[in-house]
Amino acid sequence: MTDVHPAWLPPEAFRAIGSRRVLVHGDGPLAGTVRDEVARACARFGGSLCDGGEADLVLATSDHLPAHARAVLYGEEAGETGAAPGGDEAFPTGRRDRMTGTPDGDENFLVGRRGGVTVVAGEGAGLLYGLFHVVRLGERAFGADFPAERHRPAMRRRMLDHWDNVDVHPVMGQVERGYAGGSIFWADGGPRGDLDRVRAYGRLLAAAGVNAVAVNNVNVHATEARLLTDRLGDVAALAGALRPYGIRVHLSVTFAAPVVLGGLSTADPLDEDVRAWWAGATARVYEAIPDFGGYLVKADSEGQPGPFAYGRSHADGANLLAGALAPYGGVVHWRAFVYDHRQDWRDRSTDRARAAYDHFAPLDGEFAGNAILQVKHGPIDFQVREPVSPVIAAMPRTRLAVELQVTQEYTGQQRHVCYLAPMWREVLGFEPWGPGGRTVAGVAGELVAVSNAGDDPYWTGHPLAQANLYAFGRLAWDPGLGPAEILDEWIGLTFPDTADRLREPLHAIMNGSWETYERYTAPLGVGFMVRPGHHYGPDVDGYEYTPWGTYHFADRDGVGVDRTRATGTGCTGQYPEPWSEVYESAERCPDELLLFFHHVPYGHVLHSGKTVIQHIYDTHFAGAEEVAELRPVWDGLVGLVDPALHARVRELLDEQLRSAREWRDQINTYFFRKSGVPDAHGRRIH
């Protein structure tokens, strides 16, 4: 692992801890990880691991808290009794694991400071998260006193899915939709063999709050299928490297495994032999990996096998695997990304945006308690702007995970700066039942994202894309965090020496970068318009006459997809009130989603007061202009970041500008030629 960028955990981030006297007290492997971290920091910065009353920082499991530390958290009187403020239990959460019935409190931690001592108490991974909390606080953890606060993750599972292949796929390569080099886990048909790098990845993820990783692509090809059986040892090795950081390993499996691996004639979920096969295979998995997280399945989707072949439902399919995993406390993540990818573009009644709801909403209540339906955040496919998926509000009796895409397949492929936390924050804060109601974050128990990390020295190709990986973990821990606040944390950790001078320019470059990207690409929620296959760069009609169900229907009069109940596909009816009405009405529909739900004439006037066509021209000129402004800001940072990192970003900004101009010109030219409407400001359109 040479020359790998430390991302948000450079040694310097540990200075505040490493220059102090620290007591680490607790049993168990994760307490050991905390001790190792602290020991390394102290060796570097002159502090010490101590074992007595003189500590500046105490990190301990609750049963190992010394009395004086206990008093810091619980008050003097409680110091001896162990009663937590506001509750009887030290770590109450009220949540219990549905399968095992055990309290689900081992990720919590308490932190407080009094009389010159900072104390963190937590069980299991909680202690580790507490350590990283102190890392984030830096010197602030050792300044003024602060009362004990309890921290707990909002989402119980905070998971990254890797679309990594073991074999190099002839079209998709080592990592499907990977823009950061090869895979951290696999290379050329086998394990990549750099477990130090895997461990370092786990450490970064833990510091951001992630606790689960699926180590192979949801498109499970022949070699990858065997990770479940004869290649299980490779998965166990990864689990071993990630375990010290509280991260469980999950595996994408093929629904056809009993046939392709087990030699059975069927994979029918109701067949007894099939059940027995999964039970046996799963038992062997847990023998090798006792804390294995579970399976991830893409079934009946884009050519992957599934229960439809046997006339069974997706609940039958998911419950088959859930049943095999249940004895061990494992879970199956079953993806809701099911749609017809062989549709006829002439057929306007089939609507890909409807598909997940149509397939899954009727199955609400039929899924096992350890089956989690994993729903992409929008109804189509990770576009720069989509409404929230209607599935999220439609399945109150089903455990749901919301899936985001950190890898920037549709948002610039890690060649463009596109800080995605503002989009995710909007998704998580969306209220499906209207203002004042529950939010998406409140409905989903888990947050999952497709990782953007690879074996690139900066982990993410574009060094600034590290912030997306970091922000994903932080939002999964606390969806209430503000995107700018998270970015600020990331800047402080990643560039500890120059953060004060970097904050303003980096916020200027990144805060609005998602909206900038939106401005120069597909307008008003219409989506796609990317080059087929690799999905980089503009190609307005690239998907228009294909079977993929991603159309914009632009003609000389107008553009957009009619998804209304009145005259279109009826997709608006999949939303509860008030959104079903808001989206149904071209007058009330939010501008940014207008073309997702409506086909309108170019002269349609938006809430902004502009016509659709003028909005298209204006945003595309503005978006490309905004990108042109980034380069001078970045040039001003020479000397404030590592020269190699500076050079890498500079090159990428040049490509982003080239690409943004290409988008601007293709989109504007296309719509000018279709509509014949000139730009009100007479700017150059080709």
Tell me which residues are annotated as active site. Answer: 302, 381, 409
The nearer residue to ligand GCW, 409 or 518, going by C-beta atoms, is: 409
Question: CB of 581 within 8 A of CB of 643?
Answer: no
> Given 3-state DSSP classes, what are the helix, strand and coil percentages for the chain, each rounded to the nearest 5?
40, 15, 45
Token readout for 516 is: 């900038």
The minimum distance between CB 378 and ligand GCW, in angstroms, equals 11
Amino acid in position 545: Y
300 is a contact residue toward ligand GCW (CB under 6 A): no
The nearer residue to ligand GCW, 405 or 668, going by C-beta atoms, is: 405
The minimum distance between CB 172 and ligand GCW, in angstroms, equals 7
What is the C-alpha to C-alpha distance for residues 683 and 674, in angstroms, rounded to an integer? 17
176 is a contact residue toward ligand GCW (CB under 6 A): yes
The minimum distance between CB 409 and ligand GCW, in angstroms, equals 6
The minimum distance between CB 410 and ligand GCW, in angstroms, equals 7
Residue whose C-alpha is closest to residue 485's, from 4, 23, 136: 136
What is the C-alpha to C-alpha distance for residues 437 and 272, in angstroms, rounded to an integer? 44
382 is a contact residue toward ligand GCW (CB under 6 A): yes
Residue whose C-alpha is closest to residue 471's, from 47, 72, 160: 160
524: left (phi over 0), alpha (psi -120 to 50) or beta: left
C-alpha distance from residue 47 to each of 18, 34, 43, 51, 131 (Å): 5, 15, 7, 13, 16
CA 518 to chain centre: 19
Q: DSSP code of 79?
A: G
The nearer residue to ligand GCW, 176 or 562, going by C-beta atoms, is: 176
- Polymer length in residues for the chain: 686
Site string for ligand GCW, 211-250 (x = CB under 6 A): -------xx-------------------------------
What is the C-alpha to C-alpha distance for residues 452 and 412, in angstroms, rounded to an integer? 12
The nearer residue to ligand GCW, 220 or 235, going by C-beta atoms, is: 220
The minimum distance between CB 438 and ligand GCW, in angstroms, equals 26
Q: Interaction with ligand GCW in 408-467: which residues (CB under 6 A)?
A: 409
The nearer residue to ligand GCW, 104 or 381, going by C-beta atoms, is: 381
CA 472-475-479 angle, to 5 degrees, is 150
The nearer residue to ligand GCW, 13 or 450, going by C-beta atoms, is: 450
What is the C-alpha to C-alpha distance for residues 616 and 610, in angstroms, rounded to an integer? 10
What is the C-alpha to C-alpha distance for residues 251 and 295, in angstroms, rounded to an integer? 5
The minimum distance between CB 555 and ligand GCW, in angstroms, equals 27
The minimum distance between CB 298 and ligand GCW, in angstroms, equals 5
Token readout for 547 is: 């079977």
What is the C-alpha to C-alpha distance for residues 37 and 548, in angstroms, rounded to an integer? 49
The nearer residue to ligand GCW, 197 or 221, going by C-beta atoms, is: 221
The binder of ligand GCW chosen from 25, 226, 298, 519 (CB under 6 A):
298
Amino acid in position 139: E
The binder of ligand GCW chosen from 163, 458, 459, 543 (CB under 6 A):
163
DSSP H or E segment with residue 250: strand 248-252
The nearer residue to ligand GCW, 295 or 337, going by C-beta atoms, is: 337
Residue whose C-alpha is closest to residue 122's, from 136, 138, 111: 111
Residues 202, 136, 466, 123: what is their CA dihedral angle, to the nearest 10 degrees? 30
Q: Interaction with ligand GCW in 301-320: which residues (CB under 6 A)?
A: 302
C-alpha distance from residue 438 to each of 433, 443, 545, 550, 582 (Å): 7, 7, 39, 30, 18
Strand partners, 295: 251, 332
| Beta pairing class for 57-60 and 109-114 | unpaired
35 is a contact residue toward ligand GCW (CB under 6 A): no
Cα R_g (the chain), whole angstroms: 26
Number of residues that bind ligand GCW (CB under 6 A): 11
Site string for ligand GCW, 339-378 (x = CB under 6 A): ----------------------------------------
The nearer residue to ligand GCW, 19 or 219, going by C-beta atoms, is: 219
The nearer residue to ligand GCW, 118 or 219, going by C-beta atoms, is: 219
Question: CB of 135 within 8 A of CB of 493?
Answer: yes
The minimum distance between CB 634 and ligand GCW, in angstroms, equals 30
The nearer residue to ligand GCW, 57 or 388, going by C-beta atoms, is: 388
The minimum distance between CB 212 and ligand GCW, in angstroms, equals 18
Q: Which residues contact 599 (CB under 8 A, 6 or more apart)?
A: 553, 558, 559, 560, 561, 562, 568
> How many other β-carbons are positioned within 10 Å of the β-carbon of residue 207?
25
Q: Which residues contact 113 (CB under 8 A, 6 or more apart)?
A: 72, 119, 141, 142, 144, 145, 146
162 is a contact residue toward ligand GCW (CB under 6 A): no
The binder of ligand GCW chosen from 162, 177, 599, 620 (CB under 6 A):
177
What is the C-alpha to C-alpha distance for residues 262 and 282, in angstroms, rounded to an integer? 13
The minimum distance between CB 229 and ligand GCW, in angstroms, equals 22
Residue whose CB is nearest to ligand GCW in the complex, by number: 381
The binder of ligand GCW chosen from 123, 381, 446, 455 (CB under 6 A):
381
The minimum distance between CB 675 and ligand GCW, in angstroms, equals 30
The nearer residue to ligand GCW, 410 or 459, going by C-beta atoms, is: 410
The minimum distance between CB 156 and ligand GCW, in angstroms, equals 23
- Residues of this chain that interact with ligand GCW (CB under 6 A) are 163, 176-177, 218-219, 298, 302, 337, 381-382, 409
